[in-house]
């Protein structure tokens, strides 16, 4: 069991928690030591995993899931700890590792209770990594919950503003989503095998059995898609996102918007579409309408917000809407674009939230009306903010452009008028995004200095630079050399496309 690398993605965060537990509460040096070591190990493991994965694929290993392993956990319900990764999960793990790394440095001076903060932070990462490595629905769901619950404490204790309200709202709405999800997963489990067969939680086996009849598929699709869609900030279940993000501490916003919201999109295609293909074809239109609204609606809402984090949260609604929208297009190109958008949005929003945290830490306000001309005061952060903005509005050379274009070109492959109208509606978001990004950049970064007191503020420290540079390099890396990622993702979509084709016949 321990010879499987994937398991170590869960064990390392647990070890980090153990290490943190041994540190004294005020001993920042030891706490940072544990966190930095741990996150570097995770990052190194993730990079190694990607390289090795690509190597294996290149050498012709054609299994759907590599590094697969399965250990019985609870016999009566046939629950396994089953792990395995394909190209998409590998990239997601890399994304999570990058953001955990950047998040550690972004919360270098967290106060109060640094030890407890990082304990919960590690628990959250455990859940995230566990989710991406699992191919057993039950363990997947369990890790999903493990990732969600720490949010409550992280926001409620270390947050700012109306933190109790936001933490409660976020947790309750996500738990509501989980309830739907649990129903859906149980339903899938009870139909996972033909009459008399051994029921299973294993995604690959369920897909292979293909034994869920059309009527049940429709019901379960709605449950699972809404369940994951809540986490993916799908309209009209997105309102936890602005409040939650606005009140969360920096690293938590980063991890939440950067990775946790991706759990929603990932679950949507891995479970809802892969296991329920015929329902996906039949009911996709409902969710295309909802996500289409998300895209435009989030962008328009972002135009008039005055709190930096609200702007970004609404922008996330728009961008994450794009992820689900792409996945619902049910063809390889668009879905690939959806995954690229997840990666891109993850990195970009993490960068945004990190920068907002850094700016807030200095000016003690997030209201754009009370700031201005930060470029003159903190040029490094200003430039980074502009780069993040450009990534968000889809500048070629950064990852957002690649993702959006892949989505548009893929989505346009669906020839019906309905799809076309929504694709064109979705493309308008590139203009609206430009409007709100440039509005913020113009008010916040450029222009004359608004507040004389801000002139005394300092520019980024080394840990902040490390955190932002890591993310910017990743953004530019995807933007410049998208094709290897594109190919990796496309390859991994083959089983899903096959399942869809099979259902269409």
Stretch that binds other proteins, among 84-92, 210-218, 260-268, 424-432 (CB under 8 A): 424-432
Q: Pick from 197, 409, 418, 501 the residue near other proteins by CB under 8 A.
A: 409
Contact 227, 178 (CB under 8 A): yes
Residues binding other proteins: number (CB under 8 A): 55
**For the chain, give me the number of helices (H) and strands (E)?**
23, 2
By CB under 8 A, is residue 431 in contact with other proteins?
A: yes
By CB under 8 A, is residue 402 in contact with other proteins?
A: yes
| Residue list 69-128, contact with other proteins (CB under 8 A) | none
Expressed in angstroms, the distance from the first to the final Cα of the chain is 40
List CB contacts of 231: < 8 A, sequence separation 6 or more: 148, 174, 177, 260, 261, 263, 264, 267
| Per-residue x/- track, 323-342, other proteins (CB under 8 A) | ---------xx---------
By CB under 8 A, is residue 396 in contact with other proteins?
A: yes
- Kindly state the smallest distance separating residue 339's Cβ from other proteins, in Å: 14
List CB contacts of 111: < 8 A, sequence separation 6 or more: none
Q: In this structure, what token pair is assigned to residue 342?
A: 């997840």
By CB under 8 A, is residue 197 in contact with other proteins?
A: no
List CB contacts of 315: < 8 A, sequence separation 6 or more: 298, 299, 302, 349, 352, 392, 433, 436, 437
Residue 203 CA to residue 272 CA, distance in Å, equals 11
Q: Pick from 430, 457, 466, 497 the residue near other proteins by CB under 8 A.
A: 430
By CB under 8 A, is residue 458 in contact with other proteins?
A: no
Closer to other proteins at the Cβ: 94 or 426?
426
Bridge partners of 66, per DSSP, are: 85
Closer to other proteins at the Cβ: 349 or 429?
429
Contact 83, 134 (CB under 8 A): yes
Closer to other proteins at the Cβ: 30 or 439?
439
By CB under 8 A, is residue 394 in contact with other proteins?
A: yes
Q: Which of 224, 215, 142 is nearest to 184 (CA)?
A: 224
Q: In this structure, what token pair is assigned to residue 23?
A: 């540190």
Closer to other proteins at the Cβ: 282 or 413?
413
Residue 168 CA to residue 164 CA, distance in Å, equals 6
| Per-residue x/- track, 279-308, other proteins (CB under 8 A) | ------------------x--xx-xxx---
Q: Pick from 118, 408, 422, 493 the residue near other proteins by CB under 8 A.
A: 408
Q: In this structure, what token pair is assigned to residue 18?
A: 């153990």
Residue 98 CA to residue 471 CA, distance in Å, equals 8
Task: Using CB under 8 A, list all residues that contact other proteins.
Answer: 169, 172-173, 235-236, 238-240, 243, 297, 300-301, 303-305, 332-333, 373, 375-376, 379, 390, 393-397, 401-402, 405-406, 408-410, 412-413, 423-424, 427-428, 430-431, 434-435, 438-439, 442, 445-448, 482-483, 486-487
């Amino acid at each position: 069991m321990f010879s499987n690398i994937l398991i170590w993605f869960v064990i390392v965060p647990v070890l980090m928690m153990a290490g943190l537990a041994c540190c004294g509460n005020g001993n920042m040096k030891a706490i940072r030591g544990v966190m930095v070591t741990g996150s570097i190990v995770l990052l190194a493991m993730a990079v190694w995993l990607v390289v090795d994965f690509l190597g294996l694929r290149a050498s012709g290993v054609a299994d759907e899931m590599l590094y697969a392993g399965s250990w019985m956990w609870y016999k009566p319900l046939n629950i396994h700890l089953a792990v395995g990764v394909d190209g998409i999960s590998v990239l997601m793990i890399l994304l999570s590792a990058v953001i955990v790394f950047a998040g550690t440095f972004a919360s270098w001076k967290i106060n109060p209770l640094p030890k407890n903060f990082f304990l919960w932070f590690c628990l959250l990462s455990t859940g995230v990594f566990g989710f991406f490595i699992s191919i057993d629905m039950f363990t997947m769901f369990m890790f999903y919950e493990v990732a969600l619950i720490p949010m409550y404490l992280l926001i409620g204790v270390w947050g700012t503003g109306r933190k109790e309200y936001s933490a409660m709202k976020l947790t309750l709405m996500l738990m509501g989503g989980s309830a739907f999800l649990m129903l859906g997963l149980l339903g899938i489990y009870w139909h996972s095998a033909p009459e008399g067969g051994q029921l299973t939680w294993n995604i690959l086996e369920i897909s292979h059995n293909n034994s869920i009849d059309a009527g049940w598929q429709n019901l379960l699709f709605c449950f699972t898609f809404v369940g994951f869609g809540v986490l993916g900030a799908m309209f009209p279940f997105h309102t936890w996102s602005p409040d939650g993000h606005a009140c969360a501490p920096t690293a938590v916003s980063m991890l939440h918007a950067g990775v946790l919201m991706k759990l929603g999109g990932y679950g949507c295609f891995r479970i809802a579409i892969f296991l329920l293909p015929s329902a996906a074809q039949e009911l996709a239109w409902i969710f295309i309408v909802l996500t289409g609204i998300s895209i435009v609606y989030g962008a328009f809402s972002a135009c008039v917000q005055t709190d930096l984090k609200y702007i970004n949260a609404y922008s996330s609604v728009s961008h994450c809407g794009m992820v689900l929208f792409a996945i619902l297009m049910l063809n390889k190109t668009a879905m690939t674009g959806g995954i690229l958008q997840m990666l891109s949005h993850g990195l970009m929003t993490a960068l945004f939230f990190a920068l907002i945290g850094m700016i807030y830490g200095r000016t003690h306000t997030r209201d754009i009306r009370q700031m201005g001309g930060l470029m003159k005061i903190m040029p490094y952060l200003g430039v980074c903010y502009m780069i993040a903005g450009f990534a968000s509005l889809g500048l070629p050379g950064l990852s957002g452009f690649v993702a959006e274009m892949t989505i548009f070109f893929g989505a346009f492959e669906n020839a019906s008028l309905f799809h076309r109208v929504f694709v064109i509606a979705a493309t308008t978001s590139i203009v609206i995004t430009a409007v709100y990004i440039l509005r913020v950049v113009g008010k916040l970064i450029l222009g004359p200095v608004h507040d004389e007191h801000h002139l005394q503020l300092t520019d980024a420290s080394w840990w902040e630079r490390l955190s932002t540079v890591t993310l910017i390099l990743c953004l530019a890396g995807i933007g410049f050399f998208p094709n290897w990622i594109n190919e990796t993702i496309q390859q991994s979509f083959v089983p899903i496309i096959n399942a869809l084709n099979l259902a269409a016949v």
